[in-house]
A and B are shown apart, each in its own frame.
Chain A
Amino acid sequence: MKKLLMVSLLIMLIISIAKAKIDLNTATLLELKTHLPITDKQANDIYDYRFYISFFQSVYQLREIESIDQKTLNLLKPLVSVSHYDEKDESAQRRDDIYYLIERLGSNEGLQEGMSDIWEDYLISPRNINKLAFSDILNLPNTSPIDVAAILNRVAVGDSISSYRDLRKSPGISYYGAKNLQNYVYYKEQPEVRDLYFDYQMKYNDSPYGDDEKEMYMESMIRFDPPDSDDPKTPGIKRQSYWGYFNMESHRATIMNKLRMRYRNEFKAGFIYETPRNSSPLFDANSDNIIKDGKFYAGYENNFKFLGNNYLKIYAGNYRATFGEGLVMENTDSYSPRKTGYGFNKRITGIIGDISRTQEYALRGIALDWKRNNMNAVVFLSSDKKDAVVYDSNENGELDEDDNILGYINMTHRFSNHDMEEAEEFFNEYPENFNQVEIAPRLDALQEDIIGGHIEYSPFIGTHLGFTGYEARYDREFLVPDEDELKHLLISDDDYAESKWKITDNEITTMYSTFSDEYGDRNFRRVVGFDWRTVLNNTSIQGEYAELQKGGELAKIGDDPRALLISSYTQFDNLYLISIYRDYDIDFDNPYHRSFSESERFDDTVFEKMAYGLNNTLLNDMYNNSAQPSAERGIYFETRYQFHKMWTITKAYLDLWERKSDARRGVRAQVKLEFKPIHQLRFRMRHKHQVKRYDDEMDRGKSQADETELKLVAYLSNFDKLQLGYVYARVLQPPYLSILSDPAEPGAPDMAQGQTLTNGDMIYLDYTHHFNKNLKVIGAFSMWYANGASFWDFEDIELDFDQSDRGYKTWFNIHSRIANNLYLSLKYKYKQFLTRELEYRDYNDIPDEGEYYFQRVEREENIVRLQLDWKF
């Protein structure tokens, strides 16, 4: 009994002592000062540490405070306790845990056009894997149809996936499929996360215009008719070009402001506005512009019971609509070559809210997506004004609303119609200018009303058949003049029009008209198609077929311009294989077509190559920002294969294709190989080989490009990383006969040449240093000697294109996590390079007076990029 009493007393004593201990994570400043044998300064320091640095995880953390020495710690140890305490709610904690994934998504945002936002939402608020539909899982990054079928096959038989380990056991699922999926879903219990989220993002970016765009703006719009070559061909004034006229040198930064709101995964809303470059002052925008050029949406998604399980999505405002392989509908301004739809080249099919930077092909209206059991139906309505190329079809000397449209255009810089008209007037009225503007882009020139839909039936897991179609009604006529008229409309100089117009320009002549002898006059464009998929063991086969209705019947296959894509995906544990066959008719001119292709529409046409001859240089944007694939037929293979624990072919592909416009054939192959002797050290080799050739030997023959890259990647401690690389490029080009006029003169610079060989190389180094988990600095340096070759350089979060004669650049990026929910990154880049000598080559006679001649010119660029993300 005594023992029991003693034990009880002892327990009570321990409890009372424990109770008397001061909890470092909850004690007030007064308690710290009065209950602990420390000075006021030490108490303040402890309090400040907890308030401004971190809650205490252990008592030993006190030693991180400068004023607490070991002796004080020893003194305090028995007097204090540390309870588990964190200011972060579950959502913040979750964001913390998966921050590296969010960062990775953010770094690819530019390539994924708003998809990273959607994925980030699902990372923060995961969904129950046992209740997801096929497309819901497939729409997550890097999951394959086979992975999805493996999951759904289990769920369908009443099994439920209870953990990641359990998920891994699903027969047929790949290691990477499961691994990529694990953070986007939950299994049994929903993680406790908040319901309401706001994300604000601001981006300041003063990157200069790209080389092609700059060249377009700099070409002269005032041209004289030189009787002989010694006379000036232009007045030689800066204002002769759009660049000079609009003083585009001083065009400043763009500012993007984006705000998203989400209540669970049910209500979503968003807004984006990007202040254009020449806006003044910085954040100036009137409310009309904000509504007209800004983008916004509000959406609701949820399950509901009505005669069974239903899933409904409804979006109002701007939305993205994507179906099948993107043959009928995928509304984005961005073009991505070789977009397979697998791995990191995904499409999110169905309807999602759209606050990406897409402007021209944005849809604005209402969209409804309804899933029920094995059926899915989508209806979407859009009414929006589109920028378009207008030409003086009624020949009244003006570009007005009575004139016809040539086609959609996605302008690099959206000058107002008033500004463009003033510039055109200045160019037109310049004495002796023969280049009178007859064709020009106009903002909001076209009212486009779209009604479209998609219906899909899935008889069993992994298999579906879908039908997609839309009709776009216009308030103006699209009319492509006949070839002879067209080339003289696009190219002012008659001689040029005859001599520079090539067979490749078929892509322009075959653009869609709403009027033709074949089908008369109409005010719409209709595109219909069907898509399918089936998963057989470890192989998925899918495809889409689409037709643009012209003279044929809507429901009849094969009587209209068509496009077809069939692909298959086979996966093993350490290997996948993608095969894609595509065949797009040249007159399948669907502005919302975004399927797999090697190059964009209008490649090699006068829209690309003839800024100097086009009636309006701004038409270059038809190619520069073309989002439609080129008409081509070809077959593509891609694989990843880890054939040894140290050796992996990380990506290898081969594409064999023929361009429809001129029957040019091409081969492009690339192999990336990684050798990983130890985890921290990677050696990577990449080789690219590309050949484009004509069978007709009378034309330009072939061009060939090879590029080899060797890279060393060392992962250091604390997630630091060092990369060192070398790239060697070799380009064999045919002579450009089209600009060589007098091959008979020996030694003349315009003499016909044989193949030209250029080679260049680049060396680069970049280093990522983590001061701690909240502060990272990346610094990089690269130097190149391109000689006419060109290099793509992936810089941290964006791609850069280096193609000058020689140059170097250095940049750094500071990534700072200011607080749990506040992120700031500041990037600065300095680039110095010599322009290509080609621009100022020898046959550029020095005029007798008034002009200037420089053989080479050094240029520099200073670029600042600031990004602020606030998630609350």
Chain B
Amino acid sequence: MKKIFLLLTIMALVTGLYSYSILEMETGNVIRNVDPHSAAMGSAIGVGGLRLLDSMTNPANLTNLKNGFGFQTTGSFLTDSDNRSLPMYNSFDAYSGDAVYVSNVNIFADFAGGMYYKRAISDFDLAASLQYRPQVSFIADYFEQVRNNRNSDDNEYPFKIAQNTIESTGGINAIAFQTAFKYKNIASIGLEVAQLTGDSEMEKSVIWTLEAQETINDTVLYNYVNTLKREFSAIQFKIGANVNISQRFDLGFSFTPKVELEVTGNTSQYFLEAPKIEPDSTDNINWVDVEDAVFVYTNFDSTGTPLDSLTYDQYILPMNARMGFSYKPRNIMSTIMNCNIEFVKWSDTNPLYDDAINYYIGVEHILKNKIPFRFGFNYTTTYGLFNDTGITFAREITTPTFSAGTGFTILDKFTFDISLEYSNRQYEALDLFGDSYYWDENHAYDDLWENSYWIHDGGGIQDRGWENPDTVNETFINLKSAISFTW
């Protein structure tokens, strides 16, 4: 009874969280693993996957499961701490560091699950599975207050004049069918066909506060709203193979061709007379179809005139190919070491990107009482798109991640796994909301600023460009848990 109660408690815990980055609110955060076994092993399970959802990386991993019927559900809790700082200058006006001016901590959740059946027929092991899992997430939240320059004498504080928000929701999920075959203990191959569907909705807004509106009630303030709504669909294929070189070595390969998703939706940018924040029929909003909305210009002539562009309907998941090995040495505690390298053809998605190689390593030691201790490390590369005076460029952003995890078996047939991943990355970016929006050269906004003459004397409030960019520091902590069951 106690065990069942424990199992139920664990199952209740298995609702997950994924939290993601504002950097990829438009391009999407590609999810590399959904399963704590894989996560704890540093996502190095191109070969040597032991859980159903490990087959997300290589469908041939299905043949490593036990014979019979089984299922797995996983949940993920992810916190993303996003700190944006601006440069500081010391008494000699030398650049001396960065000060955080906005900090967002978000918590997100997601889940995945699947079932499988595997049996042996003669020299063959046959397996098939059906899975539901997130593939790309667009979830991101950002909130920033804009306060005026009033001092804090007499128990007064600079009042809030506007709030800047980015809310991005949605994602692309996969319903995947996988099948895999294994011949004796020599080799296995696997195939996945996945229906990718999903949507995303992004809204970026600057909303003036009531206090700001009241302060300058003779001037109309306009709330700014930028929206992007998209729906996605596509079929994705993935093939994989595992080869048993010896009792100690297994090799694995997997290949996913690039996927061009069909995208529908629209985008708009509009201004609403404050305090209105939602458009109504009286507002003439220009909704632009995603086919016609330029996402990014990717090519320019010598005069800086844009030549080629990507529109919001050109959404592509890049081709990737992964290979790796799993090594099972003789060790006083049963040990597995997996290493993978992955080639990602990022140039498929955007000509501004370079192709990249990701590295994964993971180790599992079985300690006393059959408790596994898993740890891993990976080093992955993504890209951020930035703009400099109208020209868009891409910067490589690398993310080192370390992970650890464990698990145990309960009631013989249930296996509980848990993992923790920790990533930190840092990059430069422009201010997400340019400061000049809160200033008007014709003195219309003067009342919003306590000492507006200072600002006038300095030539007004201007946007910070690349001469003084933000430094963004992001930390991700991802807790994953899963229950696997084999009949």
Interface residues of A (CB under 8 A from B): 51-54, 66, 87, 204, 206, 218-220, 232-241, 243-244, 247, 249-250, 252-253, 280-283, 612, 771-775, 814, 816-820, 822, 824, 826, 828, 835, 839-841, 843-845, 848-854, 857-860, 862, 864, 866, 868
Given contacts A280-B396, A775-B365, list 19 more A-B pairs with CB under 8 A.
Answer: A53-B330, A53-B334, A66-B370, A204-B377, A232-B93, A234-B92, A238-B469, A250-B427, A612-B94, A771-B367, A772-B332, A773-B332, A774-B365, A816-B375, A817-B331, A851-B89, A852-B87, A854-B88, A866-B361
Which residues of B402-443 have CB atoms within 8 Å of chain A's CB atoms?
402, 422, 424, 426-428
Q: Is the CB of B91 within 8 A of A819?
A: no
Take A206-B400, A848-B458, A849-B454 as given contacts and tell me if A51 and B330 are in contact as well, using a CB distance cutoff of 8 Å.
Answer: yes
Is the pair A839, B97 in contact by a Cβ cutoff of 8 Å?
A: yes
| A818-B363 CB under 8 A given contacts A220-B95, A848-B458 | yes
Residue from B93, B328, B426, B459 in contact with A249 in the complex, judged by beta carbons closer than 8 Å: B426
Measured CA separation A860–B474 after assembly (Å) = 11
25 sampled A-B residue pairs with Cβ under 8 A? A52-B331, A218-B96, A234-B93, A235-B467, A237-B468, A241-B94, A244-B87, A250-B397, A250-B428, A772-B367, A774-B331, A818-B329, A818-B331, A818-B335, A820-B329, A820-B330, A826-B377, A839-B96, A841-B91, A848-B454, A848-B458, A852-B87, A852-B88, A860-B473, A864-B400
**Complex CA distance for A633 and B87, rounded to whole angstroms:** 45
**Does B373 lie at the interface of the complex (its beta carbon under 8 Å from any beta carbon of A)?**
yes
A204-B332 contact given A247-B428, A844-B91, CB 8 Å threshold: no
Chain B residues positioned under 8 Å from A244 (CB to CB): 87, 95
What residue of chain A has the Cβ atom nearest to residue B423's Cβ? A862
A244 to B466, CA, bound (A): 10
Cα(A241)–Cα(B363), bound, Å: 42
Chain B 69-106, CB-CB to A under 8 Å as 1, else 0, gives 00000000000000000111111111111111000000
Given contacts A282-B357, A826-B375, A864-B400, contact A840 B90 (CB under 8 A): yes
- Measured in the bound complex, the distance between the Cα atoms of B455 and A247 in whole Å is 29
Question: Which residues of B237-254 have CB atoms within 8 Å of chain A's CB atoms?
Answer: 247
B89 and A234 form a contact (CB under 8 A) = yes
Which residue on A lies nearest to B335, using beta carbons?
Answer: A818
- Within the assembled complex, what's the spacing in Å between the Cα atoms of A174 and B337? 45
| Residues 374-403 of B contacting A (Cβ, < 8 Å) | 375, 377, 379, 381, 395-398, 400, 402
How far apart are A691's CB and chain B's nearest CB, in angstroms? 31
B contact residues around A860 at 8 Å (CB): 473
A852 to B86, CA, bound (A): 9
Residues in B lying within 8 Å of A, measured CB to CB: 86-100, 247, 327-335, 337, 354, 356-357, 359, 361, 363, 365, 367, 370, 373, 375, 377, 379, 381, 395-398, 400, 402, 422, 424, 426-428, 454-455, 457-459, 466-469, 471, 473, 475
A233 touches B95 (CB 8 A): no
Known: A53-B332, A236-B89, A852-B88. A859 touches B97 (CB 8 A): yes
User: Which chain A positions have C-beta within 8 A of B454?
Assistant: 848-849
User: In the complex, what distance in Å separates the CA atom of A328 from the CA atom of B354?
Assistant: 50
Contact B331 A848 (CB under 8 A): no
Alpha-carbon gap, A840 to B88, bound state (A): 9
Q: Are B94 and A219 in contact (CB under 8 A)?
A: yes
Name the A residues within 8 Å of B455 (CB-CB). Answer: 849
Which chain B residue has the least Cβ–Cβ distance from A850?
A: B458
For B92, list chain A residues within 8 Å (CB).
220, 233-234, 612
| Chain B contact surface mostly | strand
B327 adjacent to A774 (CB under 8 Å) = no
CA A848 to CA B361, docked complex, whole Å: 53
Q: Is the CB of A252 within 8 A of B398?
A: yes
For the complex formed, measure the closest distance between the CB of A840 and the CB atoms of chain B, giving whole angstroms: 7
Q: Are B402 and A864 in contact (CB under 8 A)?
A: yes
What's the minimum C-beta distance from A23 to chain B, rounded to whole angstroms? 17
**B333–A772 contact, CB under 8 A?**
yes
Contacts of B422 in A (CB 8 A): 828
The 4 A-B residue pairs whose C-beta atoms are closest, nearest first, are A849-B458, A819-B329, A237-B467, A862-B424
User: How far in angstroms is the closest Cβ of chain A from B464?
Assistant: 10
Given A54-B332, A281-B381, A282-B357, A843 contacting B365 (CB threshold 8 A):
no
Closest to A221 in B: B94
Closest approach, in angstroms, between the C-beta of B271 and any C-beta of chain A? 28
List the A side residues contacting B88 at CB < 8 Å.
840, 852-854, 857
CB < 8 Å neighbour of A236 from B93, B332, B333: B93
Separation of A828 and B403 alpha carbons in the complex (Å): 10
Q: Tell me the bound Cα distance from A772 to B247 in angstroms.
A: 24
Which residues on B sit within 8 Å (CB–CB) of A237? 467-468
User: In the complex, are the beta carbons of A51 and B458 less than 8 A apart?
Assistant: no
A224 to chain B, nearest CB (A): 8
Instruction: Give min CB distance, B369 to chain A, whole Å.
Output: 10
Q: With a 10 A CB-CB cut-off, give which of B379, B396, B426, B454 has the most chain A CB atoms.
A: B379
Q: Which residues of B contact A858 (CB under 8 A)?
A: 100
List of B residues within 8 angstroms of A87 by Cβ: 330
* Alpha-carbon distance between A775 and B374 when the two chains are bound, in angstroms: 12
> B95 contacts A240, CB within 8 Å?
yes
Given contacts A773-B332, A819-B335, contact A824 B428 (CB under 8 A): no
Q: Which residues of B contact A859 (CB under 8 A)?
A: 97
B356 partner residues in chain A, CB cutoff 8 A: 281
CA distance A845 to B90 in the complex (A): 10
Chain B residues whose C-beta falls within 8 Å of the C-beta of A854 in the assembled complex: 88, 99
Task: Assess the B329–A816 pair: CB atoms within 8 A.
Answer: no
A699 to chain B: closest CB distance in Å?
A: 24
- With A and B bound together, what is the CA distance between A66 and B370 in angstroms? 10
Contacts of B96 in A (CB 8 A): 218, 839-840
Give the chain B neighbours of A850 by CB distance below 8 A.
458
Q: Which residues of B contact A51 (CB under 8 A)?
A: 247, 330
| A102 CA / B152 CA spacing, docked (Å) | 61
Return the chain B residue nearest A868 by Cβ. B361
Docked-complex contact B373 and A775, CB < 8 angstroms: yes
Instruction: Report the separation of the CA atoms of residues A818 and B93 in the bound assembly, to the nearest whole angstrom.
Output: 52
For B94, the chain A residues whose CB sits under 8 A away are 218-220, 233-234, 240-241, 612
B91 and A238 within 8 A (CB): no
**Beta-carbon nearest neighbor of A840 in chain B:** B90
User: What residues on A are CB-neighbors of B402 within 8 Å?
Assistant: 826, 828, 864
CB of A857 within 8 A of CB of B330, answer: no
- Across the interface, which residues of A come within 8 angstroms of B361, CB to CB? 824, 866, 868
Question: Contact at A771–B330, with CB atoms within 8 Å?
Answer: no
Cβ of B93 to closest chain A Cβ, rounded Å: 4
In the complex, what distance in Å separates the CA atom of A225 from the CA atom of B328?
A: 67
Question: How far, in angstroms, from A143 to B74 measured CA to CA in the complex?
Answer: 59
Chain B residues whose C-beta falls within 8 Å of the C-beta of A253 in the assembled complex: 379, 400
A848: chain B residues at CB < 8 Å are: 454, 457-458
Residues of A within 8 A of B89 (CB): 234, 236, 851-852
Max chain B Cβ within 10 angstroms of own Cβ: one of A281, A773, A774, A817: A281
Contacts of B468 in A (CB 8 A): 236-238
In Å, the complex CA distance between A822 and B338 comes to 13
Knowing A282-B357, A771-B333 are in contact, say whether A233-B93 is a contact too (CB < 8 A): yes
**Contacting residues, chain A, for B95 (C-beta < 8 A):** 218-220, 238, 240-241, 243-244
Tell me, in angstroms, the Cα distance from A852 to B431 when the chains sit together: 15
- Complex: A233 Cα to B93 Cα, angstroms: 6
A862 to B477: give the CA distance in the assembly, Å.
13
Q: Which chain A residues lie closer than 8 Å to B331 at the CB level?
A: 52-53, 774, 817-819
For B357, list chain A residues within 8 Å (CB): 281-283
CA separation between A826 and B92, bound complex, in Å? 41
Cα(A218)–Cα(B91), bound, Å:
13
Which residues of the other chain, B, contact A54 by a CB distance below 8 angstroms? 330, 332
Q: Is the CB of B100 within 8 A of A818?
A: no
The interface residues of chain B lying within 8 Å CB-to-CB of A862 are 424, 475
Q: Which residues of B contact A771 (CB under 8 A)?
A: 333, 365, 367, 373
Q: Are B377 and A864 in contact (CB under 8 A)?
A: yes
Bound CA–CA A240/B89 (angstroms): 11
Chain A residues lying within 8 Å of B334, measured Cβ to Cβ, are 52-53
